[in-house]
Copies of this chain bind each other. A is one copy, B any other.
């Protein structure tokens, strides 16, 4: 190994192609709520490897244009959905010799929550929203089924103490609409009174002053999530209130 007299000299001689390096990508589990179901964006692969198989959205890091991993995730999400401001969270990073037939591959996996949008079909790859349990049975490409399971586990854990379900619906929303998202993710009904009490106690919502007719009786007030509460965590879990 040559020795260098300065960092500048060392850097001038450095060439990543002198080394054997892994493939580096970002995958994104993009979730929404549609027709009272939690759905995930699936992409039918138009190319090898895993041609014609369903997969999560994702792609290689573009080191010329992506400032960081989050930029890669956002670029993927925006290209598939048109949405530019999702709730976006890093889930896990998986890297090993076997997950990609092209070679040692490392992928940073994110999950995103967005209000429902119809998917623009611009690229050569077909995108579709699939109900999550249906998607789990699609024999997804690579190890994407494992990522989808992990993302669902994380969301179901976080729903108990966070406001992340609010990102799955358009704002403004009524408290009933918000409660329904929690119930869909949790798979059972929750107690209205304690649900509303915890929201009031922590002052995480803004009343818009507008309202919406939700059936008989008084119109229901419409709320938005306070921007600073996008990541808010309650101190106690929903069911131990």
Contacts and interface: CB of A to CB of B under 8 A. Distances in A.
Interface of A: 4, 6-7, 10-11, 14, 16-17, 19-24, 47-51, 60-61, 63-64, 67-69, 90, 92-97, 101-104, 106, 108, 236, 240
A4 B21 CA distance: 25
A7 B95 contact: no
Contacts of A90: 92-93
Q: Which 9 A-B pairs have the closest CB atoms?
A: A68-B96, A10-B48, A63-B104, A93-B93, A69-B95, A7-B48, A93-B108, A22-B24, A14-B102
A11 B49 contact: yes
Given A48-B11, A69-B96, A93-B93, A20 B64 contact: yes
A232 to B, nearest CB: 15
A24 B24 CA distance: 8
Given A21-B63, A48-B11, A61-B22, A94 B69 contact: yes
Contacts of A47: 10
A29 to B, nearest CB: 16
A104 B11 contact: no
Contacts of A17: 17
Contacts of A49: 7, 10-11
Contact of A24 (B21, B68, B102): B21
Contacts of A101: 7, 11
Contacts of A11: 48-49, 101-102
Nearest to A71: B96
Contacts of A23: 16, 21
B21 A103 contact: no
Nearest to A104: B63
B63 A22 contact: yes
A93 B68 contact: no
